[in-house]
Amino acid sequence: MECPGNSPEDQAFTDLVLPGVSDEKDFEQLQKDLEEKPDLSSKSDVSAEHQLTEFQNKMTNSRTGVRPPTDPSDCLRWFNLRIHNCFSPVATGHDELMDFLTALQHYLRSEEEGKEEATLQLLLDVSAQCGVCFPRTPSSPSSLQPQLSASSIHLVHTVKDDASLEIQEAWDDVRLQLRRHLLDRLSSRGPEHPGSGHVCALTVPERIRCLQQLFFLYPESEVLTYYQHLRIRSVMGLLSALSSSPGGETGFDRLAISFHSVVPVLTRALADELHVLSRLTELHTLLAFLNTAYLSTVARGLATLMEKEYETALRDNTTLGGKIKKYSAKSRATVAPMELPMKNRSFSLTSHQLRALTQLACTLLEFERIVKELVANMTFAESIGGSPCVKGVLKKRRGDSHVMTHGKNTTTETHLHTAEAQVLEFDWRSAFQELVPHMAHCVKVVLDDACAKNLQQEEAMHSLGHTSVTLCLTRELTTVTARKACLREDSIFTCEERETPRMIAKFCGAITKELDALLPLAAACRDSTLLEVRSSFVEACGKAAFALLDRLQERAMEVPCSAPLKNLPAWLATCIHVCQRLESYHATLNDSNTAAAQVRLTLLPIQKCQNTVEELKDQLTSYCIQVCSTCVLQDEESHQWADPKPFYEGERCSFSVQMWFYFLCGLRSDLWAVLPAGIAKEVLGQVLSETLQLLVQRYAGARPSYKRHLQVRCDITTVLLYVEQLMWSLCESPEALVYPSPCSVDAITAGPSDWLNQIHNLCEQLLTVLVVVTAPLSLLHRVFMIDHPQASEPHRPSSSVAHWLNTINPDLFTERAVRDGLAGQAAAWCQLRLLTSDPGLNPRLLLRTLLHRDCHLTRTLLENSYFCQSCLEVSTESSKAGDDFIVALFNLFSCLNNAPKALTQVLQPYLEKRARMWEDLYTLADTTQTAPVVISCVRAIIAKSSKSLLVHLVSMVIGWQASEEPSAAVFKWSVPEGVLEKVPKKWKYAPLEARVNESAANALISLTIQTLSFILTNLPLAIVAIPLPVRYLFFMAEKQLSQHSRQLRLMGLLLWALLGCLIQSLEDPQALEQISGLTLDMGAKEPLSLLAECLQAVMGIHQKGVPKPSLHKVLQTLEEKRPKWASIQLQKAHKLCSDSVFEQGGESRVAAAELTEQKIGLMLLEVCHKAGGSNYLRQIYHIIQGNEELLMLKLGGSLNSPSDIPRLVNFDFGSEHPVDATGFNPLHQFDHIGKKKLDQSALISWAWDWPRLLSAYRGMSRVTFRTLLANRWEMQDGAEVDDEDKAMVEELQEAYLVCSCSPGPQDPLAADETQANPTQGETTI
């Protein structure tokens, strides 16, 4: 069925924001709906043209006999001219008019209550009913010239009369008294203390009404000038109270604290002013008003207060005869005075005063940002019709003011109405001009003093023999900086958590903390007159950076002579921190202002920091490699390969191999503790790769005796186990672990991993040495001498260099996994192992792990928690921690629109154990009963979606109150009969008291129809604003609520809940006031209550008792205008919750293959853009990390798990996260691989599948095979072998070790090596 034409209210809603990555089905549905509107508009245009034609015919039959033009646009212009020309002069007598005005004068001078309101309503009523246009001439004496005759009071186009001056004076007296009354109302102040939050005691509708009445009496510019003076006095009164501080602070401290307390009041006043003036004036006028009444007043008030404090500081800080007086007890140090020509007196700020000024600048920057956002939001709403327009005679009359003065613009236009004033002007920075040289000097001295002081303290500690670095957490520095700074996030340089060092040198943290503290002051000083302060900050910052870098380089050179190795990672982390802070300062001070752009941090210190980072990283890597090559791997006893005696009876590996792994574990702990994750992995990977190459060279050249060849096998087996353990800490993803070649790793992990690929190649080479040198001779002979003619090509099970992983751990890295990738349970276990072995939180890997296999890991967490266990008592702390975890899960998965079914899959165990929860979704709007935390989260999502609807509804009601409601309410004050009798008879005025009630009722019904139409029109947008995962949760819940199928058949569960929450909010005035930020009186509650009842009727909820007549009238009128339109709108919104939407938004299964890096990146972007998204990821990560052993057991990857693993998930880890509790335990790590104890004797008897291994290496390079074959103990001169082995040895020697130049067929291993094209991992050793 076609929908009737749209009303303006249908398209007025603009505040709903679609999700960041919404479903395409949503946009298709919305586009389809929008495409229907042009058709409707065209039909409406056709109807309008038809009605216009009929009206033309009627006008032709009029007394003039003139037919209007046929063109619609020309016709409308013709009608407009006719409207003005239809006013014919009516001779209103001078005496009759003077009697009326005199009666009004006497009435206004009486003592009757409400006389001004009654008079205003009478004048407005006469003007609206009788077409009387009262003069709105300026009140200045120069403008009081004879302009209007007696009849011109009634008509626009009349001639002048000499008696008009007497009438004008009487009229001026009347409106003067009315103006005083209205200005007195507008000047009424709220509570004087700053916490009141009000500059004016009147509500927004009352202020709008007062200004409209003033516009009826005076020109707009003059009214705004009066109103501007009132607001200036209010703001100045507010600022004057700042001279006294309740906390007893003095000086700039008092100023900073006071402004911090008064800014919320000013912000609230500005927000109210925007609501008022946006309905009455144009944008440029509004901005000019704000500039003059608020921003300039704040700047002047601040300048006055600053001047007083400046004089006080000048008196207290001035040094006479070289003596310096301390400013206050809070000052820790007084900055040395600078020489300024100030009448033989030198003045300087203290460091404490400078910090107070910085705090003041932060407060003002925040105030500036909030005001800009308020104006931007209002401008955006008005640009697309979002701000409701106040209708009525007062606003309509503004357009006719120029006609009443015979074409002459008699208004005294001020700067309020200049079209150029279209930008906000924040002049508060000018208040700092007097202090610029002192602030610039103080900034430089404070920062230089902080830098020198901390460097001296570090030097003193170093001279006392404290060679270890004293560290501090960067997380604490970041928290302090975020709490104190007021700069916008998009204006500063930010680093990801994985790119930020975890700990740095304490003295460096203290210096950067001082720089961060003064950064807002430098950022605020962007005007040309304040650039000296920014220049001082830049200079001091560069000087401090160079001093820090010199100290870091100096201390790094002491390793290893006089400082331990663990200092090097700390110095590297500190240098990275300095580099990141300098980049942040550069981005913050990179102002678009031309003058400010010339004063910014240069790239020279940043470049030096980057170079120093590379130097320290190379020093750390090369030193670790040197330590391993010269000390750790030098074990003469272990490397006596020709010794006929077994090494320690063949029951252990070499000491050097064990200490090599021990050293790498300690290095990993040191790197993990301080460095960013990426750099820590890179350093450890390079050290592992280079030292592993040394081991390959060692064992490839070893020629062991019979008693020592098992030691080679044991050592290589141990090395491969050690490397496999370290690889979990180095890889970013399962693909990087199994497919490390550059062509695949770059595509999957989006980063170069040359050292990772080299590690795999070296491990393959070690495995080749183990196979050729230590395999049983009989099997080697059979594979390479007997079975090789059957093979026409190599029999490697996989071309991947990760084949060695299959050999070491065949249960996890099966041949299929090495060939095709990990899948199923093995992939889940692998992802969990990689996640918990990482230096810190890896958001991409965590999100991928959580979504893998239909969120299997997350469901395992809930299934093994107290949530899904019956009859379990938990402590209050554990219950709260569990609820926090559920909230984190919900908030994380609810924003993943690319995986719409993930939220329901995660909560499935939780919901199934609590069947009542489906019913809670049906009664979501009921807040009287205690609901589970999940229901509270869902309710918050629905409330957020409906918030914009409610804000707009409140705005519509307030606009209606300002234009319609006062015309009815004002009749509680009646005009005396004597005044009514003096109204000129020819005006034919009839009092409206009899029609007040009927008019008010009709206005209320009209408003309710508008608001109800607005809600129904924007329901699809409200549904689209709800994330897809939440919509799918309601979709699945609806299937569980078959008992409510009748109620949900038309609209579905989600619409039922959304409308229910809307109704509940409409019936709660306090909630509406909190949402909208506006005060609602009793007049606003009645239409909102009626709207709630209409929504209940639309939902099919039967009212208790007899329905109100107004309710029936609203629904009937809406149905007559738009038949079945409400049902159509509900069906449109319901389509956005259908199954097809979710099937298109995401597949039914969230498989690992579908989780490409691009999709994970988009999801991670959604999470990080959500408020608190990073914290939710971190919270979930800590829970997973703390329950690693339990999860490993449940996933089936830990076969030899200890028996003391807890059976239930622990959500409460106290204040310390599991990641902070882990560390390097030397006694434990010495004989363990990870958490398993290393049984070295078992490595000797490792069950190798020799036939499969030898077959796999049958196609290896001939040079490699010949070289390694010569190292076997049987091939050495004087080896004692039996006859059978001797025959096999001779055959192998003849085939591979003896040069044969005779022509003839060659075996596969004898083929030309340039044509063999060996696979990766088979390079010649």
Confidence of residue 502 (pLDDT cuts 50, 70, 90): very high
Task: State both tokens at 504.
Answer: 């740095």
User: Which long-range contacts (C-beta less than 8 Å, at least 24 apart) are formed by 1063-1069?
Assistant: 1063/925, 1063/1092, 1063/1095, 1063/1096, 1064/925, 1064/926, 1064/927, 1065/943, 1065/946, 1065/950, 1066/950, 1066/953, 1066/1091, 1066/1092, 1066/1095, 1067/1092
Which of 107-111, 461-465, 481-485, 1207-1211 is predicted least confidently?
A: 481-485
Q: Express each pLDDT in 960-980 by its tens digit.
A: 876 665 554 444 567 888 888
Q: Express each pLDDT in 126-157 by its tens digit.
A: 888 888 888 888 875 433 333 333 333 443 33
* CB 581, CB 641: distance < 8 Å: no
* CB 414, CB 221: distance < 8 Å: yes
Residue 629 has pLDDT above 90, yes or no: yes
Average pLDDT over residues 911-931: 81
Burial class (CB in 10 A: 0-12, 13-18, 19+), 245: middle
Confidence of residue 1161 (pLDDT cuts 50, 70, 90): confident
Secondary structure of residue 535 in the 3-state scheme: helix
Q: Express each pLDDT in 843-884 by its tens digit.
A: 999 999 999 888 999 999 998 888 887 766 788 888 899 999
824 closest CA partner among 815, 808, 812: 812
Average pLDDT over residues 892-915: 86
Task: State both tokens at 359.
Answer: 């705090």
Confidence of residue 1043 (pLDDT cuts 50, 70, 90): confident
Residue 1039 has pLDDT above 90, yes or no: no
Q: Is 0.85 topped by the overall pTM? A: no
Mean pLDDT of all residues belonging to the chain? 77
Secondary structure of residue 703 in the 3-state scheme: coil
Residue 1074 neighbours by CB distance under 10 Å: 10
**Mean pLDDT highest for which of 78-87, 724-733, 817-826?**
724-733
* CB 138, CB 219: distance < 8 Å: yes
Distance from the Cα of residue 880 to its chain's centroid: 26
Provide DSSP, 782-833: IIIIISGGG-SS---S-SSTTHHHHHH-TTTS-HHHHHH---HHHHHHHHHH
Task: State both tokens at 229.
Answer: 């003076």
Secondary structure of residue 753 in the 3-state scheme: coil
Confidence of residue 684 (pLDDT cuts 50, 70, 90): very high
**What was the pLDDT predicted at 405?**
33
| Single-letter amino acid code for the residue at 44 | S
**What was the pLDDT predicted at 1143?**
60
Q: Express each pLDDT in 1093-1139 by its tens digit.
A: 899 888 887 776 667 788 888 888 888 888 888 888 888 888 887 76
Q: Express each pLDDT in 1069-1087 by its tens digit.
A: 888 888 877 777 777 888 8
**Strands 503-505 and 471-473: what pairing?**
antiparallel
770 closest CA partner among 149, 1268, 220: 1268
Secondary structure of residue 1247 in the 3-state scheme: coil
Q: Express each pLDDT in 406-421 by its tens digit.
A: 333 333 334 454 444 4
The more confident residue out of 862 and 58 is 862
Confidence of residue 752 (pLDDT cuts 50, 70, 90): very low
Residue 1304 has pLDDT above 60, yes or no: no
Which of 13-22, 139-148, 390-399, 507-516 is predicted least confidently?
A: 390-399
Which of 323-337, 997-1011, 1220-1234, 1283-1297 is predicted least confidently?
A: 323-337
Rounded-to-10 torsion of CA 490, 493, 499, 502: -100
**What was the pLDDT predicted at 26?**
53
Average pLDDT over residues 19-40: 49
* CB 568, CB 674: distance < 8 Å: no
Task: State both tokens at 609.
Answer: 């920091």
Average pLDDT over residues 262-286: 89
E strand segments, 562-713? none
Residue 1112 neighbours by CB distance under 10 Å: 12
Before 560, cis peptide (omega within 30)? yes
Secondary structure of residue 642 in the 3-state scheme: coil
